[in-house]
Amino acid sequence: MEFSVFAETAYELEKTSSRLAMIEILSKLFKQADKDNIQKLIYLLQGRVAPPFEGIEVGMGEKFVEKAISISTGYTIAQVEAAFRKKGDLGSAAEQLVEKKKQTALSSEPLTVEGVFDSLLKIAKTSGEGSQDKKIKLLSDLLNRASPLEAKYLVRIPLANLQLGVGDPTMMDALSVAVKGDNSLREEIERAYNLSSDLGTVAKNLYEGKRKLGEIKLFNPIRPALAERENDPAAILKRHKTTIADLKLDGFRLQIHKKGDRVMLFSRRLEDMTHSFPDVVEIVKKNVKADEAIIDSEALAYNEATGEIYPFQYTIQRKRKHGVAEKAEELPLHIFAFDIMYLDGESLIDLPYKERRKKLEKIIKKDGISVMESIITSDLKELERFFKKSIEVGAEGVVCKDPESIYKAGMRGFNWIKLKRSYKGELADTIDVVIVGYFYGKGARAEFKFGGFLGAVYDEDEDVFRTVTRVGSGFSEEMMVKLREMLEKIKTKDKPARVDSLIEPDVWVKPMYVVTIKADEITESPMHTAGRKGETGYALRFPRMVGDIRDDKRPEDATTVSEIIRMFKLQKHTAVQSSTEA
Ligand code: ATP
């Protein structure tokens, strides 16, 4: 397939904000694909050359990309930089410079999707001495043969800045339409994706006519199951009758894969974290008594001697690129395992939770890893006592699991229900929003050129981001500088296609970063588009940012519109609120 078809599709996608139109544009592209190129096409549309969990990134710094543009167009670095400054985006700068190109291309052979993919993969895999020069050469060779429009998108991929505004749900719908003419394959595609987290391979299997589009495989992360909310134990027992209530500890989620002595660890957004946690790898090797296993767990800084759970501020210090070993020594992690999805050659996801748990208990030895503390009960008083105890021991609350339920990969459902501690006058749960724009500061904030941001939640049905709040507090001066710097790099001239907003921030940004917000209440509001029916949507009252950027969450992992609606309904009940106020 010629790369120009990809570039033209990308251009059309960027222009539209209608989901139906996006599905149509994409399905037209997918119809032209075949079993040999569909996988590459899907990864390229995601701006990648491999699924995220493989950790293969094209990644080149701006300076090196500028150099490649300079070599291929004959313009000086200073001229490339000037065009970049003027356009605000290197992709558009490359488009303009290729258009005005001084040198004539040596080869006029058109670029193909396959060829571009293979070269980008080569760039990703080039390392060691002289690797930057080799990468620049590979990119400038591609740019030499590129049309202006092709250059625009080519340049954005190594900058991790492609962002065509299509999420996975839209891609899955388009695949179904391309193959079947309607969305009847969507469910099957989604199930396969949830098990394998690799849409490229799922699409390839689909085009090859395989019976199974995706399955659980070791070292291929499973999309995590997620919890719904209730805000009192009685409501939970209405749904579960008998429930297995686990502690809900506040660390970070780790999906552990093990085969013999080989161990891999994946984050909530399915990135490979193995090298960040060498201590956990050792614990798993020694104390998980199974040859093959996939385990779901929460990792936490924990004092093994006293059994004290450390607050999240300690645990988060373990997320670092440098000084990994020193920090591991200072703040060792403990693994609290709460589920098992695979054991010695067999998928366990269709077994009831109570049975998965028994299997988990059998293979977990102590020392650095234990099964999450829990009770099984159908008694309200007992559940209330356990919830109270959870707060006393420093947990966030409980996650109650239906003992009969299967592991629903990639789904938020009432099989798991979280119940968190809440304070009077405050929402029981925090909300994760995607930043879609920011405002210049006024008064004292003017010097930072940052006064706050516009936050949106994710609409799963439409695959777009809808605003829910304007946040102007909770961050330090240092954080303001950091946010402004990060957001400046992803600003866009116009509102991004996938953002639905009635408010116009001073600067629009690509929906990339997720932050956690605390608020007092969810209110109805004419200003925001989240859950909007007629003239009213939902907004947060007294929002303030907590913590840092949530780099463990992708934009699509932000709180969803349906969760906001659910939380709005729940806030009317206040049964357990503040009984445990600290
Ligand atoms: P949150 O921000 O509340 O952690 P989330 O969106 O990451 O929410 P949810 O499914 O809503 O995910 O809440 C469950 C989360 O709580 C898991 O992602 C996991 O990290 C954490 N957790 C802690 N203890 C448990 C447990 N016993 N069972 C399941 N998840 C647990």
Ranges of each domain in the chain? 3-156, 226-420, 431-575
**Cα 420 to ligand 1 centre (Å):** 11
Ligand 1 binding site (Cβ under 6 Å of any ligand atom): 226-227, 246-249, 253, 268, 298, 338, 372, 399, 418
pLDDT at res. 582: 31
- The CATH class, in words, for 3-156 is mainly alpha
pLDDT at res. 89: 86
pLDDT at res. 581: 35
Which residue stretches of 56-130 are H helix?
62-73, 77-87, 90-99, 113-125
Per-residue pLDDT of the chain (582 residues; tens, 9 = 90+): 999 999 999 999 988 878 899 999 999 999 999 999 999 999 999 999 999 899 899 989 899 999 999 999 999 999 999 999 988 889 999 999 999 885 555 556 899 999 999 999 999 999 988 999 999 999 999 999 999 999 999 999 999 888 788 889 999 999 999 999 999 999 999 999 999 999 999 999 999 999 999 999 999 999 999 999 998 899 999 999 999 999 999 999 999 999 999 999 999 989 999 999 999 999 999 999 999 999 999 999 988 888 888 888 888 888 887 888 888 888 889 999 999 999 999 999 999 999 999 999 999 988 899 999 999 999 999 999 999 999 988 899 999 999 999 999 999 999 999 999 876 677 878 999 999 999 997 777 777 789 899 999 999 988 999 999 999 999 888 899 999 999 998 888 889 888 999 999 999 999 999 999 999 999 999 999 999 999 999 999 999 999 899 988 999 999 999 999 999 988 865 544 444 333
Pocket mutation for ligand 1, best pick of 246, 298, 402 (most atoms within 8 Å of C-beta): 298
pLDDT at res. 231: 83
**Cα 107 to ligand 1 centre (Å):** 54
At 477, which amino acid appears? Answer: E
**Cα 227 to ligand 1 centre (Å):** 7
At 521, which amino acid appears? Answer: E
Ligand 1 atom closest to 418 (CA): 13
Residue minimizing CA distance to atom 24 of ligand 1: 248
Q: In a 10 Å sphere around its CB, with 0-12 CB exposed, 13-18 middle and 19+ buried, how is residue 78 labelled?
A: exposed
Residue minimizing CA distance to atom 13 of ligand 1: 227
Q: Which residue has the tokens 């940052």?
A: 450
Pocket mutation for ligand 1, best pick of 230, 248, 266, 557 (most atoms within 8 Å of C-beta): 248
Q: In a 10 Å sphere around its CB, with 0-12 CB exposed, 13-18 middle and 19+ buried, how is residue 186 labelled?
A: middle
Give the list of residues 6+ apart from residue 528 with CB closer than 8 angstroms, or none.
Answer: 466, 467, 468, 469, 502, 503, 537, 538, 539
CATH architecture label of 431-575: Beta Barrel (2.40)
Q: What distance lies between CA 286 and its chain's CA centroid?
A: 31
User: Quick one: which of 487, 486, 505, 485 has its CA closest to 495?
Assistant: 505
pLDDT at res. 105: 53
pLDDT at res. 493: 84
CB 239: neighbour CB atoms within 10 A? 14
What single-letter DSSP state applies at residue 51? -
User: Quick one: which of 494, 499, 512, 505 has its CA closest to 555?
Assistant: 512
At 493, which amino acid appears? Answer: K
**Total-model pTM:** 0.87
At 224, which amino acid appears? Answer: P
Ligand 1 atom closest to 224 (CA): 18
Ligand 1 atom closest to 398 (CA): 27
Out of 40, 152, 204, 248, the active site residue is 248
Residue minimizing CA distance to atom 29 of ligand 1: 399
Report whether 505 contacts 436 (CB < 8 A): yes
248 is catalytic: yes
- On the question of a common fold for 226-420 and 431-575, the answer reads no
The Cα-based distances of 540 to 259, 353, 432, 524, 563 in angstroms read 46, 36, 12, 9, 13
The DSSP-derived string for 348-414 is -TTS-HHHHHHHHHHHB-SSSEEEPPEEEE--HHHHHHHHHHHHHTT--EEEEE-TT----TT-EEE
Pocket mutation for ligand 1, best pick of 399, 400, 417, 556 (most atoms within 8 Å of C-beta): 399
- The CATH class, in words, for 226-420 is alpha beta
